[in-house]
């Protein structure tokens, strides 16, 4: 697994849609991995148009996935998600590339644990292109997130996962995740939400 930090130069960028998720890129630095069998993980720079395009492509594919939102991004979300990520104060995005194209994404947000009085990282979106699963890309992405958490003094990583997403659950468990439990007698944590009308 290689973690690459640098600027990506666009070579050919097709129209982005949930079915077009493998645009081609090359690196402008000599650190570009020559072995296309290994995934390269990049901490995204959302000021770069090429990273914006890759993030949008991955989020569109994830949204349409049955284990994502099960439907494409709305026109409003598509138009505003990149700027929203750029302006949100705690955004942290990692992109995985394989054979010259985007292969996965981890969209994260920094939080804070009041019990530990230390920062944490929540993995909000985690997606690997279906055709490229089973090649270590998910593990490479998670390793990059965990490395960043260690470098920034975080006390833990958190995430949520669909109950029936058994493949993802196996990956997360292999990476050391488990259902949260603070006090044995209190039971395990359960994720709840309330959808707001204005967010529809």
CB neighbours (10 Å) of residue 190?
7
Q: Which tokens hold the place of 99? A: 């054979």
Question: Any idea which of 31-35, 68-72, 89-93, 182-186 has the lowest mean pLDDT?
Answer: 31-35
Give kind and range of the element (H or E) at residue 146: helix 137-151
Question: Is it the case that residue 107 has pLDDT exceeding 50?
Answer: yes
| Greater model confidence, 139 or 18 | 139
Q: What is the pLDDT of residue 199?
A: 63
Alpha-carbon distance values, 45 to 67, 137, 162 (Å) = 26, 20, 29
Q: What is the pLDDT of residue 200?
A: 56
Give kind and range of the element (H or E) at residue 96: strand 91-98
Going by C-beta distance under 8 Å and a sequence separation of 6 or more, which residues neighbour residue 49?
10
Please state, rounded to an integer, the average pLDDT across all residues of the chain.
85
What is the span of the domain harbouring residue 116? Answer: 2-199
pLDDT in tens, 120-171: 999 999 999 999 999 999 999 999 999 999 999 999 999 999 999 999 999 9
Predicted TM-score (pTM) of the model is 0.82
Length of the chain: 200
pLDDT in tens, 57-82: 999 999 999 999 999 999 999 999 99
Provide the CA 28 distance to its chain's centre, in angstroms: 23
Q: What is the pLDDT of residue 197?
A: 81
Q: Which tokens hold the place of 147? A: 């490395």
pLDDT > 70 fraction of the chain, expressed in percent and rounded: 80
What's the CATH code of the domain at 7?
Answer: 3.40.630.30
Domain count for the chain, please give it.
1
Question: Is it the case that residue 30 has pLDDT exceeding 50?
Answer: no
Give the span between the Cα atoms of 45 and 92, in whole angstroms. Answer: 9
Question: Any idea which of 7-11, 45-49, 191-195 has the lowest mean pLDDT?
Answer: 7-11
The band of 23, judged by pLDDT with boundaries at 50, 70 and 90, is very low
| Greater model confidence, 143 or 17 | 143
End-to-end distance of the chain based on CA atoms, in angstroms? 39
Q: What is the pLDDT of residue 36?
A: 59
Q: Which tokens hold the place of 8? A: 């990506």
């Amino acid at each position: 697994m290689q973690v690459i930090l640098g600027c990506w130069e666009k070579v050919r960028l097709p129209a982005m849609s949930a079915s077009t998720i493998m645009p081609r890129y090359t690196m402008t630095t000599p650190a570009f991995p020559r072995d296309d069998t290994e995934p390269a993980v990049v901490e995204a720079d959302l000021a770069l148009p090429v990273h914006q395009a890759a993030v949008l492509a991955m989020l569109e594919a994830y949204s349409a996935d049955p284990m994502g939102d099960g439907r494409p991004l709305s026109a409003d979300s598509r138009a505003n998600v990149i700027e929203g990520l750029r302006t949100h104060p705690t955004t942290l995005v990692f992109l995985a590339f394989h054979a010259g194209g985007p292969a996965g994404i981890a969209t994260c947000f920094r939080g804070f644990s009041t019990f530990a009085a230390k920062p944490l990282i929540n993995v909000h979106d985690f997606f690997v292109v279906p055709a490229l699963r089973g090649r270590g890309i998910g593990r490479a992405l998670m390793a990059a997130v965990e490395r960043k958490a260690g470098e920034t003094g975080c006390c833990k990583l958190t995430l949520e996962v669909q109950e029936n997403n058994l493949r993802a659950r196996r990956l997360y468990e292999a990476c050391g995740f488990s259902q949260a439990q603070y006090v044995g007698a209190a039971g395990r944590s359960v994720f709840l939400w309330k959808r707001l009308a204005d967010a529809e």
